[in-house]
Amino acid sequence: MKPNAKHDDISLSALARCAREAGVTVPEAALPGLAEYLQLLCRWNKAMNLVGAHHWRDAMQRLVADSFHLATFLDDLPLPEDPLCWDLGSGAGLPAIPLRMAWQRGTCWLVEAREKRALFLSTVLARVPLPGTHVFRGRVEHFFPKQARKADCITSRAFMPWPQLLELVAPHLADDGIVVILAREEPPAAGDIDGWELVGSFAYTADNVHRWFWALRRRAEG
């Protein structure tokens, strides 16, 4: 599909321009799927209040752009070529669904306990198939025991306060596995998180709000 085509009422050229205004470049091949996702998000949002943004432009600039920044950030982290990734508390699919449009390494599980939101995620993936991307409907406490191996990368956006998140996921993280936290505060100073070390961070501004990604890894003993 060409960049000036339309996907429902979202012009792909307008979507590409909106992304550039948000400071990110969306791969041309990802534009139709991203338009489909935004269309579904706005449609379902009317009934479910998935996100605060009610127009696709607002959703793109305030929420979705984060995922494309995250794709660049993940490429700079020491992850295996074929990582196992978990996105906990996926909600409306942010950051994981747009992320997987640009960053498709390995396998990614979107974990969501709320039935209607999990149904939304499954609907999106049925309409916009993304390689190695799956939905688990249920609580993380039920998800963890079903996994054959530990995660190489765990992402979380407002799932729970980050200190509790680190405590929750530590037993389920592979050796040298990384937790990426999306935050609106600077990462703690080196040595301030007991048992963890900061291996990368990225700061940017979206919708006049300063945002950060932190990448944390368990500190080696001894």
The pLDDT value given to residue 158: 82
Our CA angle for 150, 153, 154, nearest 5°, is 90
Question: CB pairs under 8 A, 24+ apart, for 198-201?
Answer: 199/77, 199/78, 200/73, 200/76, 200/77
How confident is the model over 202-222, as pLDDT tens digits?
A: 998 877 788 999 999 998 875
H or E element, residue 169: helix 162-169
Backbone angles phi, psi at 89, to 5 degrees: 70, 55
Q: Identify whether 32 is preceded by a cis peptide bond (ω within 30 of 0).
A: no
How much is the pLDDT for 3?
43
Alpha carbon distances (Å) from 174 to 84, 103, 153: 9, 20, 8
pLDDT tens per residue, range 161-183: 999 999 999 999 999 999 999 99
In the predicted model, residues of the chain with pLDDT beneath 70 are: 1-8, 190-191, 222
Supply the pLDDT for residue 222: 52
Coil, strand, or helix at residue 11? strand
CA–CA dist 37, 43 (Å, integer)? 10
